[in-house]
Amino acid sequence: MNYYIGIDGGGTKSHLVLTDENLNVIAENRGGPTNFLIIGKETVAKTIVDLINNTVKQAGINYDDIKGIFIGTTGAGRKNNADDLKNAIEQYAKSQGFTYYKLGVDSDARTALEGAFAGGPGSILIAGTGSIMFGKDANGNIHRIGGFGRWIGDEGSGFSIGRKGFIAVAKEFDGRGSETMLTKLLKSKYGIENSDILINKIYAENFDIASISQDVIECANRDDHVCQQILKEEATELFWHVVSSLKKLQLKELTISLIGSLLTNDNYYSKCFRDMTYKNLPQVTIADPIYNPAIGAVLMAKNL
């Protein structure tokens, strides 16, 4: 029997699936983060190799029967970065006495795209800590929109929403902005009760800015107009990602799949985006992904 391994990695965790050639899941495991641009490729290489080895042992199969391993992870969107991680994984595996038959590395967005449409054409819109849109046309050509990172992009992402939320709170502290429910919520949850504490949280304690996107959404769900305006602006940014995807793919009709809890959960933000899209782009259909990103990585492993 031939087996394949797919890994979906990100900034906080990783998800591995081991399947047979018919995509039947034999085993799955979860491990630590794999964003090697932040925590280093040597650390990530160890995380991945250990995750693979533990899963193979649990499944009780032989390494010789694994015909392909593919990893989709944050930070591997550029070929030189993907190659660096691939080399680090192979070197660490060799130091542990393992040699992988075929190994591939690409971005987590790429494997999510393969999973969402089972290898077929379509587009995915990801809104997590960052944001990006990937599309695949009928000829297999890949098109990318966004994904420029938090400093010059990531519109519509958790980081962008969180940043605007903090800006609204800072303005209220100064008396140059409207009152928002978010200020009281951040005080009760994180002890942020004045501008000095806010500045310290952001610049000294490296507070996870993206994490408060859920707080912004919660306040918007409770009719806070400041937070609702933030989410309308961010939903509009994601809407323009879809418009651009239509142009790049040169399609009269487009099916997109949404990835990330900001958009997949039922909330004010996801409703804003869906309503805007359905109202202005009747040629666009929003559909659930066929497979998860880890299975998408398996599909790419089979194509190695």
Is 196:170 a contact under the CB 8 Å cutoff? no
Per residue in 184-235, pLDDT (tens digit) is 999 999 999 999 999 999 999 989 899 999 999 999 999 999 999 999 999 9
Report pLDDT for 204: 92
Interval 9-18: pLDDT, tens: 887 788 999 9
pLDDT tens readout for residues 130-148: 899 988 888 888 888 998 8
Indicate left, alpha or beta for 292 from its phi (over 0: left) and psi (-120 to 50: alpha): beta
Buried b (16+ CB within 10 A) or exposed e, 276-290: bbeeebeebebeebb
Q: Does domain 120-288 have CATH number 3.30.420.40?
A: yes
Portion of the chain with pLDDT greater than 90, in percent: 62
- The CATH class that applies to domain 3-117+292-302 reads alpha beta
Domain residue limits, the chain: 3-117+292-302, 120-288
CA neighbours within 13 Å on the CB side: how many for 284?
27
- In this prediction, residues 259-275 reach a mean pLDDT of 94
pLDDT interval class at 250 (50, 70, 90): confident
Output DSSP code: residue 304. Answer: -
- The per-residue pLDDT for 76 is 81
Query: Among residues 223, 163, 173, 211, which one has the least CA distance to residue 194?
Result: 173
Tokens encoding 114: 């393969």
Which tokens hold the place of 9? 């990695």
Q: What is the pLDDT of residues 18-33, one digit of tens each?
A: 999 999 999 999 988 8
What's the token pair of residue 246?
């239509």
Residue 63 has pLDDT above 90, yes or no: no
Q: Which amino acid is at 139?
A: N
pTM of the prediction? Answer: 0.82
pLDDT at residue 100 in the model: 83
* Phi, psi values for residue 40, rounded to 5°: 95, 140
CA separation for the pair 72, 107 (Å, rounded): 5
